[in-house]
Structure 1
Amino acid sequence: MNKGLFIRIVDGLEQFFPFFQQRKDATGRWGLTALQKCTAAIRLLAYGNSADTVDEYLRLGESTALSCLHHFTDGIIQLFGDEYLRRPTAEDLQRLLDMGEKRGFPGMVGSIDCMHWEWKNCPTAWKRQYARRHGKPTIVLEAVASQDLWIWHAFLVFQVP
């Protein structure tokens, strides 16, 4: 993730949500910073690991990491939802179509891409059903993104061979 974007997210969450503001505990020691809490949430989202994996890296317990993840997702939706988590408007679509036409792709809104992620916690009974050519079960994320990297469509597929 771009450092500027990360700092913008951390600052926004810290400014508007008390959960992300550093406070002293009952013994007078400072608690976790917004950087620690946001890093934990993003690592859990990005890598799909269990909540106890951030313990050694960030000194957070499992329940605290889950709480960070919950507050992070709620905060992102409240802070950035109107701008980034919305359907494209008519103006957005026209801008994307014009951009595509200038680049030699008339009628194109964006490009589609698919990613395969290994499904580590796939139930044993389903493993063979979701296994692909490498023999490991995968989940597929299909996304349409414009040149400016706005994701206009995302669809998670539990692909059956």
Structure 2
Amino acid sequence: MTSNSWWSSSSSEKEEMFYANAVVKAAQILMEEEEEDVSSESVITRRIRINRDRQGAHEKLVNDYFSDAPLYNADIFRRGFRMSRRLFTRIADDLAGLDLFFNRIW
């Protein structure tokens, strides 16, 4: 009968081998998880571009609130913008005078 060195070793050696194998398995599992994390980070997700017709929305806003004959009255303007139309235009004019960024397009 052939003797197996594992069976003939002492119990402390068996425990050491068991713990060494457990550590190796745990290290393998951690490495696999890290590989999964890295592969998920390398995926580039692109956002879908939706045409919102910003120019058309701007024209509608100007026509509805700021034209000579606005669609909505002063009470509705105050409810939507939380200030009077006169105050809003005064603030807009002051900002346009301070910085070119705020020049009125309408």
TM-score, length-scaled by structure 1? 0.18
Q: Which has the higher contact order (CA 8 A, sep 6+)?
A: 1
Structure holding more strand per residue: 1
Please identify the structure whose Cα radius of gyration is greater.
2
Structure holding more helix per residue: 2
TM-score, length-scaled by structure 2? 0.25
